Amino acid sequence: MPRIIAKFREWIDNELTPQSAVANTTYFAFSLMLCMAHVRGISLGLAVVGCSWLQRNCKYAPAASIGGMLGALATADWHALAAIAMVFASVTIAAAVRGGITPAGKSAALAAALVVPVPLLCASNAEAVLTGLAAAGLAFALSFALSLGHDCVRAVWRKDVPSYPELTGLLFALALFAAAFGSSSIAGVRLGCVAAAIVALCAASQNGMLAAVPAIALGLGRTLAGDSMAFVGALAACAIAAGALKRLPKYVLAFAFALAAALMSLSVSLTGLLSIPEALLAALAYALLPDGFCRKLAFSRYSVAERNALERISELNHRLALTADALDGVAQVCVESAESPEGFAARQLCGVSSMLRRLSETRYEGTLRYKLRVGAAGRAKDGMPQSGDSMGVCAAGPLTLVALSDGMGSGEAAHEESSSTIAMLTRLIEAGFEPDEALECLNRMLVKRNSDAEIYSTVDCMLFDRRDGSAKFIKFGAPPSFLVREGKVVRLYAEALPAGILACASPATHLIALRRGDVVVMATDGVSDALEDGICSAVLDCARETKTAQKTAQALLDGAARRGAADDMTVVALRVE
């Protein structure tokens, strides 16, 4: 007994968390309602309890069992009470004594708990025993179906791909959900019909006219509770009407759903349809639901080939994660002082490890709320055939990198230096390196490559996060950048050596939260030398007088060129939308 109590306390500490509170409450409520409802004389709450025990770690089973026991006590259903108590005791003792129980053991314990009490509690006649055994078999089969439905809900909630058996289990779960409300009503409004209509509306908002399938399952669940088959057709028709408008705002879907229900109630002479008050209540409840909750309910069906491809991608992601772990272990061996070659190697190995781990993630958190419009203009120094400046733009998931480099001197050699710098940097960022890791690697490579010649490049970067608008400005010997916001100009500058001079050199950084309407200007020193002290007013005027990023960049370059091109000039303008 002390061991069982200790296991129960461990479960409370580890599993009963705020994150699982909603699931535990749902299992408790459904098992309670279905045990009390006695749909068609059968206690379907046993199926919910059985489903909770069939889960891998049974963390929702105590809540479901308590709800089922309370429902059985309230209706004096001694068979259900005995079955729930037996499965609770057998699985709990097995987990405490043997340290766990296999899925086959769970199935055997559930079958025994459902069947053994039947001849003891239903022994009045042979018909009662057969009826009890049939109800026990039905509850056993539905336990597995609901377990698949549980897996489907979890997959959809996590934006994973549910299998066809899981989708079938979800339909069974929806039917029992609708039936769980029984014949409960308030002022003639059937609560189960309202709940079924809300779920059908949520499905229509995310899955379009395919919501007719779950709507039919919900309607069939209501027929188990005593409603007519006319409700099945009415709910499916309303779901199709709303699903046809899924791309419109949610209040339009709610209106279309209620309007379809009203038209059928007024024009069709059938009883048991979705009434106007029920449809209005469902539409109001759906309109009040958070958009994020409804988006969680979207799912798609995939072909066998697509599913196989997804499985291969999942395996590849797993292997990338394992490789990342191995590189982390190798990096620990190389740790030395920060400036030593071993320390650099360790940091780069950690960078590759982080890159592989990010690649193994199949999705990015958050939505892309911002856009970045990029415009660029440049010209070579007077008398030179080619500019020594280069710029590049690349995307890495939700991040956008804009980079500008000025090679030492002018002409072809300077252009080759700056273009190779930009190409190397964008490749590292696109591969998944963090900016600090990529820039340290870039600087060390340039130092190594330029060991026999004093050739270096400035590097001016902005890394923009399209989810929250944050921007990181990174400068290796680059001139100031400018932020134009609400008619004012802010200079962004800090001293730092150009890339390729010292192996231990670090860039200067600024972190700024950008807003819609902000304009950012990055330029090489040829522009700032030409405009001198008037560069801030020139940037402000160009940002005000032009409407696009390209026109802003061209206008500022033209203004600088009128002063004479004593050096290569490049302007990059960025507008946040």
pLDDT given for residue 338 in this prediction: 47
pLDDT given for residue 299 in this prediction: 58
**Which amino acid, one-letter code, is at 88?**
F
Confidence of residue 208 (pLDDT cuts 50, 70, 90): confident
Q: Which residues contact 66 (CB under 8 A, 6 or more apart)?
A: 28
What is the CB neighbour count within 10 angstroms for residue 532? Answer: 9
* Measured distance CA(434)–CA(473) in Å, rounded: 14
Confidence of residue 554 (pLDDT cuts 50, 70, 90): very high
Mean pLDDT in residue range 142-158: 75
pLDDT given for residue 374 in this prediction: 92
pLDDT given for residue 308 in this prediction: 62
**Which amino acid, one-letter code, is at 362?**
T
DSSP H or E stretch at residue 227: none
Mean pLDDT in residue range 71-92: 76
Residues 155, 158, 161: CA angle, nearest 5 degrees: 45
Mean pLDDT in residue range 258-286: 86
Contact 405, 455 (CB under 8 A): no
464: number of CA atoms within 13 Å, CB side?
27
Q: What is the DSSP letter of 380?
A: P
Between 555 and 453, the more confident residue is 555
Highest mean pLDDT (candidates 38-47, 71-80, 478-487):
478-487
pLDDT given for residue 245 in this prediction: 86
Q: pLDDT tens-digit profile of 349-370?
A: 566 666 556 555 655 556 778 8
Contact 101, 88 (CB under 8 A): no
- Label residue 18 exposed, middle or buried (CB < 10 Å: 0-12, 13-18, 19+): exposed
Q: pLDDT tens-digit profile of 187-205?
A: 888 888 888 888 888 888 8
* Measured distance CA(457)–CA(82) in Å, rounded: 80
* Measured distance CA(368)–CA(365) in Å, rounded: 10
Distance of CA 121 to the CA centre of its chain: 50
Q: Which of 11-25, 100-114, 141-155, 466-480 has the lowest mean pLDDT?
A: 11-25
pLDDT given for residue 500 in this prediction: 59
Mean pLDDT in residue range 558-565: 83
Q: Which residues contact 510 (CB under 8 A, 6 or more apart)?
A: 472, 473, 492, 494
Between 554 and 62, the more confident residue is 554
Mean pLDDT in residue range 327-340: 51
| Residue-wise DSSP of 113-138 | HHHTHHHHHSTT-HHHHHHHHHHHHH
pLDDT given for residue 337 in this prediction: 46
- pTM of the predicted model, to two decimals? 0.47
SS3 266: helix
Q: pLDDT tens-digit profile of 380-424?
A: 888 788 888 888 888 877 888 898 888 877 778 888 888 888 888
Q: What is the DSSP letter of 39?
A: B
* Measured distance CA(310)–CA(374) in Å, rounded: 35
* Measured distance CA(225)–CA(221) in Å, rounded: 7
* Measured distance CA(74)–CA(4) in Å, rounded: 28
Q: Which of 45-49, 110-114, 332-336, 500-504 has the lowest mean pLDDT?
A: 332-336
Contact 503, 341 (CB under 8 A): no
pLDDT given for residue 350 in this prediction: 62
What's the maximum distance between 2 C-alpha atoms anywhere in the chain? 110
User: Does 285 score more than 60 pLDDT?
Assistant: yes
Q: Which two tokens stand for residue 470?
A: 């944050």
pLDDT given for residue 519 in this prediction: 92
Location of structure tokens 């923009």: 464
